[in-house]
Structure 1
Amino acid sequence: MSEKEKIAIVADSGCGIPKDIVEKYDVKIIPLRTIIDGKEYNEGEFSQEFLYERMDNGDVKTSLPNPDIIRNTFEELIRNGKKRIITFNLSGSMSGTFNIFRLVSNEIMQKYEDVEIVNIDTLNISIGGGLVAYRAAQMIFEEGKSFEEVAKWADEYRFKSKIFFVIPTLKYLAKGGRIGKVSAKIGEMLNIKPIISNSDEGIYYTVTKVRGLKRSYDKVYQEFLKFVDGRKHMAAVYISGTSKELEKLQKDFVKKIESLENNIEVLVGKVSSTIGVHSGPDMFGIAALVLE
C-alpha cells in the first residue's frame, strides 16, 4: 500500500464540499443533524424545499453529529488500512462539532497506537473550510505529499481561507443566537445588509455594511477581490435556497471570477442544510483560499 493510500480525509457536512470532489477523493463526510418539529434528520435526508417551508412556521434547530458515526467511520478506515487521518470541521467557535471530532479522535488513538489523527478547526463555515479540505485532498492524492506535510499546510493555510456572504434577512442568525436580536431588528428597519465573514478566531464579524440587497452582491465580490489581492487562489460561489434568480446571479459571478488572472478554479454549490438553518434562504457568498 502506497503512502497516499494510507491517508484519509474526513469532514463534517457543514464544510459544504461538493459531491463530485467527495467522490473523486473518497472524502468521508460526517452528517450534521437538523431537528424539524421534534424529528431528527441527518444532513442529506431532506430537501432544501422541505427545510425552508418549515423555517418560519415550524420549530427548526441544528444539532451536532452523532459521535457513533464519527467513531464507526474511523474504525472502518482503519480496517481498510487508512491509519493516517486528517479531519476538517466548521469553526470550533461557532459549533461544538470540532470538539466532538477531537474527543473521538483521541479515544481512537488511545485504542490504536499505530493510528494518527490530526484535527483541523477550519475557523470557517461552509465552503470557506471546504476549500482547505479540497486542496489538502489534491496535495495527497495528486501531488503525493506526505501526511505530515499536508497536516502542517492545512494548519497554516486555514488562515488564508475566507467566505464573504450576505443574506436578505438577519432574523435567522438572530434566532440561532449568532448575532444580537436588537442589531438584527435595526438592520431590517434600515434595509442595511452587512457583509459577514469569519475572523481569525472563527467568529462572525461584519466586514462592511451596504444599503440594499442588490448592491450587497457587488460588495461581496469587492471584499473577495480585496482579500485575494491579485494572488493565486481557488474560489467558490455558494448560495442557499431554490431561487432561480439567485442561481443565475451565481453563474454570473462564477464567470467573473473565472476570468481573473490568478484564479485556479471556481467551485459552485449550495450551503448545507445546517448552515441554511442559520442563514435562511437566498444567502449569497463567495469564498477564497489564497495559495501563496
Structure 2
Amino acid sequence: MAYRIIGDSCTDLTEEMKNQMKVQLVPLSIEIDGETIYDDINFNQEDFLNKLEKSPNCPKSSCPSPDTYMKLYEGEEDIYVVTLSSSLSGSYNSALLAKRLYLEEHPNKNIAVFDSRSASVGQTLIVKKIYEYAEEGKSFEEIVKLVEQYRDEQNTKFVLENLDTLRKNGRLTSLQAILVSALNIKPVMGSTPEGTINKLGQARGILKALSLMAKLIEEDAGSVINKTLGIAHCNNLERAIFVKDEILKRLPFKDWFIVNTAGISTMYANRGGVIVSY
C-alpha cells in the first residue's frame, strides 16, 4: 500500500530524516506581542528566541485547521498522522476532526491519527516507527496496533535552562521563578502517560540537572538494546552531546540521534533546553 506520514510542526526532524521519510509537516503558528510566526521552513530560531527573551508576555501557539490536514489526506491509501500531545495543543483534535470529515466523503480511506502524548523527539520517534513498519510491508491495522503500543511505552524527559516561559504561562509563580533562578535550581520534568507534564526532580546547576535526568532514565528505561534514543536541544548542541554521552555510558541504546528544535519545541524548551525521548 502507498502511504503518507504527516506530523505537526512540533515533530523535530533532522534533514536526513526529512529526505528519507518524506514526512509532510503541518505548521502550527506562534503569536508573540501581536506578531504571528509560522513554524515552517522560514522559522528563524535565533530571531524568535530574541523576541521571546525581550517580551514580558507569554507566546501562544495556534494549531492547524482541519482543512489544512484534510488537504494532506488526499492521495496515498494509508495515512498516518502524529501530533503534539492533546494536553498541550489542539492539533490532535484538529487532525481527528479532519479525519471524520474526510471519511464522510471517502469511507474506504485508511487514516490513523496518533496523539503522541509527548512533543518534539517523542513525536519523531513515533514517526520513525511508522516509517520502519510501513517499509517492512506491515498492514495498516498492524502498524496502528504496534505504534499505539510503542507510544504507550515511550518516555519523555526534559531540563530547561530558562524558566521564563513557565513563569509567563502561569506554571510557576513569579516568586517561585525568582527563587529558582537565584538558587540556580533546574527542575527535571517528564511527561505522564496521559501527556501532561510533571516534575521528577531538581538539581543545582544545569550540568547536574542533566546528569540527574540521565540517572532517572537509567532507572526507568528497562531494556534498551532495541530502542532508539532521541535528543532535541534548543540552540545548544554541546549540551545535547553531553546528555547523549551521559546516557550512553549508562545504557546500551541500539541507536541515537540529535536534532535542533523547530518553532513550537523552541517555544516550550526555550534557549538551552534539552528534551530526551526513548
Asked whether the two chains share a fold, i.e. TM above 0.5, the reply is yes
Change (3 A) 1:123 1:266: same
Structure 1: 5+ residue runs without aligned partners? none
CA distance in structure 2 between the aligned counterparts of 1:145 and 1:176, rounded to whole angstroms:
43
Measured after TM superposition, the shift of residue 92 of structure 1 is 0.6
Measured after TM superposition, the shift of residue 89 of structure 1 is 0.8
Contact 2:218/2:250 (8 A) holds in 1: no
Q: Which amino acid aligns with 2:22?
A: D
Pairing partner for 1:28 from 21, 24, 27: 24
Once the two structures are superposed, residues 167-207 of structure 1 have per-residue CA deviations (whole angstroms, 9 ceiling, x without a partner) of 12222123234x23254344334332110110001000011
For the residue of structure 1 that corresponds to 2:158, the secondary structure is strand
TM-score, length basis structure 2: 0.90
Change (3 A) 1:27 1:186: same
Measured after TM superposition, the shift of residue 148 of structure 1 is 0.7
For the residue of structure 2 that corresponds to 1:193, the secondary structure is strand
Q: Which amino acid aligns with 2:155?
A: K
Once the two structures are superposed, residues 59-108 of structure 1 have per-residue CA deviations (whole angstroms, 9 ceiling, x without a partner) of 54322124332121123xx2xxx122111111111111101110011101
Q: Which residue of 2 aligns with 1:226?
A: 219
Once the two structures are superposed, residues 195-254 of structure 1 have per-residue CA deviations (whole angstroms, 9 ceiling, x without a partner) of 01100010000111112222111112112222323432110121102xxxx322323443
Overall identity of the aligned pairs, in %: 21
CA distance in structure 1 between the aligned counterparts of 2:96 and 2:28, rounded to whole angstroms:
15
Q: Which residue of 1 aligns with 2:133?
A: 139
Measured after TM superposition, the shift of residue 20 of structure 1 is 1.8
Contact 1:17/1:134 (8 A) holds in 2: no
For the residue of structure 2 that corresponds to 1:155, the secondary structure is helix
Contact 2:211/2:243 (8 A) holds in 1: no
Q: Which residue of 2 aligns with 1:9?
A: 5
Q: Which residue of 1 aligns with 2:37?
A: 41
TM-score, length basis structure 1: 0.86
Contact 1:129/1:161 (8 A) holds in 2: no
Pairing 1:117–2:111 present: yes
For the residue of structure 2 that corresponds to 1:15, the secondary structure is coil
Structure 1 stretch displaced more, 258-267 or 117-126: 258-267
Measured after TM superposition, the shift of residue 117 of structure 1 is 1.0
Q: Which residue of 2 aligns with 1:203?
A: 196
1:54-93 aligned at under 5 Å gives the runs: 54-58=51-55, 60-75=59-74, 78=75, 82-93=76-87
Contact 2:232/2:275 (8 A) holds in 1: yes
Contact 2:218/2:247 (8 A) holds in 1: no
Once the two structures are superposed, residues 149-182 of structure 1 have per-residue CA deviations (whole angstroms, 9 ceiling, x without a partner) of 11111111112222211112222123234x2325
Pairing 1:153–2:153 present: no
For the residue of structure 2 that corresponds to 1:269, the secondary structure is strand
CA distance in structure 2 between the aligned counterparts of 1:284 and 1:205, rounded to whole angstroms:
16
Structure 2: 5+ residue runs without aligned partners? none
CA distance in structure 1 between the aligned counterparts of 2:180 and 2:167, rounded to whole angstroms:
11
Deviation above 3 Å: which 4+ runs of structure 1? 182-186, 252-262
